[in-house]
Structure 1
Amino acid sequence: MADYSQALKEAYASNPVEQVILDTLEIYHPAFVDDDGHPAPARVVRAYEDLFAVLELDAPMNPGQQVRFVAMAFDFVLPGFEEGKTPELKITLDNVGRELVGYLEAAASDPKQVTVIYRPYLISDLSGPQMDPPITMLVTGVSVDVFQVQISASLDDVNNWAFPHRLYQPEEFPGLVR
């Protein structure tokens, strides 16, 4: 379960004028590459200007580095955690450029899943996300039209996870084989 920082909890509770909460999304897939062939996730911030912020130390790409989040109009609904339901994140990206559509088209022909990471930042502290760990989900559906991209993402089917979650394999535990 993700844990909000104390500063973010205070910002949500008291809503001070100088504490702006910046919502960011990182969308990545092995097929997302730049012109040089290097991995290039799509990073966006719900703001009017681009954001340069530091990622967490265990981020899947560019850990602990300052990265650019491109300003974009988007809306999202964070996943609820209700009994018997798989948590789902709903994202709507408006006025999407060709770059992101090209990424999604490249991912459509690859069997690996697209991952979405939600990270909130405070404008007063861009040294790391204000949630530990950030919410990481797998994309389950995408629809694209002329005006927007809609993405649905969810956790793995947590309701059907085995307990204990670790699988005991003979390669790691030779005592299992007689």
Structure 2
Amino acid sequence: MTALKQALAEAYASAPADDVIVDTLEIRHPSFVDDNGPTAIRICRDRVDFQARLEPSAPMHPGALVTFLACPFDFTLPGIEEGRVPQLQIKVDNVDREITAAIESAYQQHAPIEVTYRPYLVSDTSGPQMDPPVTMVLTHIVVNVFVITGTATLNDVHNWPFPNRTYSATSFPGLTR
């Protein structure tokens, strides 16, 4: 279960003028590589680039100090509604040509494009203020010259088995007589 840190919960509740919440997105795909190997597209909803430390359990570069590029984007966090798969709506404006090309190339491949949402406080860049961060799979993408829009969902949570362990005689010998 995702939990907000106390500092972020207070910032949402009181909206202090001296502490700003910086929303970030990390987009990952196996085709995203640079000179150092696998990489991710990291953007922040701000006017200047933002440096912050990733959580120790991050799927790529855990615990590393990374730079989120300033990029205008909007999003709607997933709601909690009975009978519906949670969806994260994303809209990225004035997209850089390199990002557009990377997203178009990744979408044509069969590997999933993962998106992680992390909120940070300007006063605390030691890690995201949500633990664990929300990670979803980008399912529907529309790319044009001016904007990228997409919908990210969890991996079909309605078809996850519950309980998620299969009880068999090999893993639980006490089941056989």
Report if TM-score (shorter chain) is over 0.5. Answer: yes
Secondary structure (helix, strand or coil) at the match of 1:28 reads strand
1:137 maps to amino acid = M
User: For residue 48 of structure 2, what is the aligned residue in structure 1?
Assistant: 49
Q: CA deviation at 1:61?
A: 0.7
User: For residue 171 of structure 2, what is the aligned residue in structure 1?
Assistant: 173
TM-score by length of 2: 0.93
User: For residue 4 of structure 2, what is the aligned residue in structure 1?
Assistant: 4
User: For residue 134 of structure 1, what is the aligned residue in structure 2?
Assistant: 133
Distance 1:102 1:166 in 2: 40
1:29 maps to amino acid = H
Secondary structure (helix, strand or coil) at the match of 1:92 reads strand
2:64 maps to amino acid = Q
Distance 1:56 1:140 in 2: 25
* Alignment RMSD: 1.8
Q: CA deviation at 1:169?
A: 6.6
Per the alignment, do residues 119 and 169 of structure 1 end up closer, same or farther by CA in structure 2, a change over 3 Å counting? farther
Distance 2:125 2:71 in 1: 18
Distance 1:119 1:37 in 2: 24
User: For residue 145 of structure 1, what is the aligned residue in structure 2?
Assistant: 144
Q: After the TM superposition, which parts of structure 1 deviate over 6 Å for at least 4 consecutive aligned residues? A: none
CA contact (8 A) 2:104 2:143 kept: no
Extract unaligned runs of 5+ from structure 2.
none
Matched residue count = 176
Percentage of pairs with the same residue: 51
Extract unaligned runs of 5+ from structure 1.
none
CA contact (8 A) 2:137 2:153 kept: yes
CA contact (8 A) 1:22 1:46 kept: yes
Task: Deviation per CA, 1:81-102: give whole Å up to 9, x if none.
Answer: 1100000000000000111112
Q: CA deviation at 1:108?
A: 2.4
2:171 maps to amino acid = F
Q: CA deviation at 1:165?
A: 1.2
User: For residue 21 of structure 1, what is the aligned residue in structure 2?
Assistant: 21
Secondary structure (helix, strand or coil) at the match of 2:56 reads coil
Distance 1:121 1:49 in 2: 14
Secondary structure (helix, strand or coil) at the match of 1:60 reads coil
Q: CA deviation at 1:174?
A: 8.0
CA contact (8 A) 1:32 1:106 kept: no
Q: CA deviation at 1:128?
A: 0.3
Distance 1:22 1:32 in 2: 24
1:77 maps to amino acid = T
CA contact (8 A) 2:22 2:121 kept: yes
1:173 maps to amino acid = S
CA contact (8 A) 2:107 2:113 kept: no
Q: CA deviation at 1:173?
A: 2.5
